[in-house]
Amino acid sequence: MATALAATVTLALSACTAGTAGSTAGAGQSGSQNVTLTFLTFENPNLTPAYWDAAIARATAQVPGVTIKKLVGQNSTAYLQQLYASGQAPDIMTSISPNGFAEKGELAEWSPEEMKDFEDPTAGAIGGKTYALSYNVQPIPLVYYNKDLFAKAGVTAAPRSYPEFLDACAKLKAAGIVPIEVGAGGKDTWAGAFGLGATVATDVLTKEPDWFQQRTDEKVKFTDPAFVGATKKVAELVAEGYIDKAGLSRSYADSGQAFLDGKAAMYPMGSWFSATLDKTPPKFDAGLFGWPGDDGKNIVPVVTGGGLMVNSHAKNVDLAKKWALAFSKDKENLDNSVRTDGLIVGIKGYTPPSDTGPMYKATLAAYQQAKQDGAIVPAWMNTSGDGSLLPGFSDKLNPAIVDLMTGRKTAEDFAAYLDQQWAAAR
Contact 307, 135 (CB under 8 A): yes
Q: Across 206-316, where does the E strand assignment appear?
A: 266-269, 286-289, 291-292, 298-305, 308-310
Q: Is 268 helix (H, G, I), strand (E, B) or coil?
A: strand
Contact 162, 291 (CB under 8 A): no
Q: What is the pLDDT of residue 32?
A: 43
Q: What is the pLDDT of residue 33?
A: 64
Q: What is the pLDDT of residue 75?
A: 78
Domains of the chain, first to last? 2-135+305-356 (3.40.190.10), 141-269+389-425 (3.40.190.10)
- Residue 393 amino acid letter: F
Which ranges of 206-251 would DSSP assign to H, the alpha helix? Answer: 211-216, 225-239
Q: Is 381 helix (H, G, I), strand (E, B) or coil?
A: coil
Q: What is the pLDDT of residue 23?
A: 31
Averaged in consecutive runs of 10 residues, what is the pLDDT profile of the chain (426 residues)? Answer: 40 51 35 82 89 96 96 85 93 92 95 96 92 93 98 97 97 98 93 96 95 95 98 96 90 95 97 94 96 92 91 97 97 94 94 95 95 93 89 91 95 98 94
